[in-house]
Structure 1
């Protein structure tokens, strides 16, 4: 995302009794704190006395920023050095110094300022701020891989990081969702045996530094996002299967399901737990598409806390209880769904 606003500053350096100069053009003075918006500083030749000379390839630039709520990188451009700033997810004022060194070793430093503003817009009116949605295919694929891996890894024994109090069908979705959005460094990987050594993380943002939402990942209200209303009334750290279905996902055709999509069922006879959810894993082991889900606790006296099951989709389609068959002609099958941040 490039923001078109040209603001020029003058750099000057003495050379051979004269003053060579370059101008620094910036493409924006404000960015949304969405984790991906960017702007650039271009160092270009400036005309003096009607004459201008190109900047030599050895002209270099560096940019330091504080606080670290945005990141900067400098490199060579077509007409001189270019420094690009990418917004983080925390709103605030950023200050720094752009340092330019010319071919003679002469250094000029220019102070820079930039404001990162909270971006609460919801242009598609789906209830989630645009800043939360993963708008690059790389990020969507990274999320899917982590989400599927983490959900599948809870079978047969859930990881201790998944609290027992949250172990039900919706809890599996919430746990894998939150963990998939984290940074998966050495400290996170410690004690976890996962086949994701080369899997990239989501780059746009990482939990809990989620734009606008922070740690309140799940929508628990209908309608579009209201930037003026209290966040706590629309988003929460938790959500039931019913709210996940009604406010956090969008339906996809059964034949278009991708790994990381979800299946929902409705059983009106199950008091208090009428909605049930599963994770579609795709074909992980070359044995055909699979699903994984938590059975949920047995509400009867002395009932079990439930377990995690992993089945081939083919076996689920022939489940002895017809209401659990994911078929479009099954009135208990609500359908396949996709997280809104991926849509």
Structure 2
């Protein structure tokens, strides 16, 4: 019975003038190229008299865009088809065609233009453009999982993709950070055995195509981000443990640490490396919370290049040298920190 009524409606539609075209309403004409901003096209079929018309069965819309600076999807809305466009992270002009069809054929074909503008705002004044921050929980969790897995995987044998010149405590953080933000396709995975074979990637952007910053991920200056000034020297492809601590992360209470957060220590007596960093792994293997870190090179003549160590947090709390114990009453322990792009 229902099928019969639907068929009857389709056959009767031309005679009744239920629809001859469609009006397309858009919610915006431009978007910030921040990887998450969105706008929508709402399609409303029109009658011969220009009035709203009831939908015919199988009314649908499709939207194609070029170049691929944004992604589009279409579906059914409460009053007609709706197409949603989500901005990518590259500014530019996007053009395309929105097609509306139903069981009788083409209803409308509308050209689409959309401008993606560079998003260099820093609304929370944390020194990073908003476009760089991971503002969805899915992306934050994806980053944490990759960052933790990559950091832990450097023990006991570092990845050959981690340049030896960057192998120190801060270098471990930087390497895992950059690699966690990459697209982990077959080419990236080749030769790597990791526990995240099915882990989703961060969706908002992929290194080195990072909005505003490109490959200069790390802030090496104090203060808020100033879009009027040059990117350098405020950002760099590298950063010391001191700058990672002071400009790239925010302190959190020790009891709120999550996998992927950081620990920092200060040793004023150390030559040229007074700050030391570690990665909090959480409980990866069911043996309790762990940390991983690079010891850093020995600056003394003939000293070693240093190694990666991974140990339980419980063992670190009883470290023979008290200055490496992550306790709030330890004057050498600076605290637990969280990457600003996650905060």
The TM-score bracket by the shorter chain reads over 0.9
Q: Cα RMSD between the aligned structures?
A: 6.0
Q: Larger deviation: 204-213 or 85-94? A: 204-213
Deviation at residue 101 of structure 1 after TM alignment: 1.6
- 1:224/1:6 CA distance change after superposition, 3 Å: farther
- 1:51/1:122 CA distance change after superposition, 3 Å: closer
Deviation at residue 108 of structure 1 after TM alignment: 2.8
Counterpart of 2:294? 294
1:171-250 aligned at under 5 Å gives the runs: 171-250=171-250
Deviation at residue 45 of structure 1 after TM alignment: 2.6
* Deviations 1:201-259 (CA, angstroms, capped at 9, x unpaired): 11111111111111110000000000101001211100000100110000001111111
- Tell me how far apart the structure 2 counterparts of residues 264 and 16 of structure 1 sit (CA, whole Å): 74
- 1:11/1:338 CA distance change after superposition, 3 Å: farther
- 1:221/1:9 CA distance change after superposition, 3 Å: farther
Deviation at residue 153 of structure 1 after TM alignment: 0.2
Deviation at residue 84 of structure 1 after TM alignment: 0.8
- Tell me how far apart the structure 2 counterparts of residues 219 and 147 of structure 1 sit (CA, whole Å): 18
- Tell me how far apart the structure 2 counterparts of residues 6 and 182 of structure 1 sit (CA, whole Å): 49
Deviation at residue 53 of structure 1 after TM alignment: 2.2
Q: Larger deviation: 329-338 or 93-102? A: 93-102
Could you tell me whether the CA contact under 8 Å between 2:278 and 2:292 is conserved in 1?
A: yes
- Number of equivalenced pairs: 343
Deviation at residue 47 of structure 1 after TM alignment: 5.2
- Tell me how far apart the structure 1 counterparts of residues 180 and 334 of structure 2 sit (CA, whole Å): 25
SS at match of 1:11: helix
Q: Larger deviation: 237-246 or 95-104? A: 95-104
Q: Could you tell me the TM-score, scaled by structure 1's length?
A: 0.93
* Deviations 1:77-115 (CA, angstroms, capped at 9, x unpaired): 122211111100000100111111233113532111000
Could you tell me whether the CA contact under 8 Å between 1:8 and 1:24 is conserved in 2?
A: no
Q: Give the gaps of 5 or more residues in structure 1.
A: none
Q: Larger deviation: 5-14 or 235-244? A: 5-14
Deviation at residue 12 of structure 1 after TM alignment: 18
Could you tell me whether the CA contact under 8 Å between 1:66 and 1:95 is conserved in 2?
A: yes
- 1:199/1:57 CA distance change after superposition, 3 Å: same
Deviation at residue 160 of structure 1 after TM alignment: 0.4
Deviation at residue 178 of structure 1 after TM alignment: 0.5
SS at match of 1:99: strand
* Deviations 1:62-87 (CA, angstroms, capped at 9, x unpaired): 11111111111111212221111110
- Tell me how far apart the structure 2 counterparts of residues 45 and 228 of structure 1 sit (CA, whole Å): 46
Q: Larger deviation: 97-106 or 258-267? A: 97-106
Could you tell me whether the CA contact under 8 Å between 1:252 and 1:336 is conserved in 2?
A: yes
Q: Could you tell me the TM-score, scaled by structure 2's length?
A: 0.93
SS at match of 2:2: coil
- 1:316/1:13 CA distance change after superposition, 3 Å: same
Q: Larger deviation: 102-111 or 165-174? A: 102-111
- Tell me how far apart the structure 1 counterparts of residues 232 and 166 of structure 2 sit (CA, whole Å): 20
Deviation at residue 57 of structure 1 after TM alignment: 3.1
Deviation at residue 13 of structure 1 after TM alignment: 12
Could you tell me whether the CA contact under 8 Å between 1:13 and 1:107 is conserved in 2?
A: no
Could you tell me whether the CA contact under 8 Å between 2:17 and 2:47 is conserved in 1?
A: no
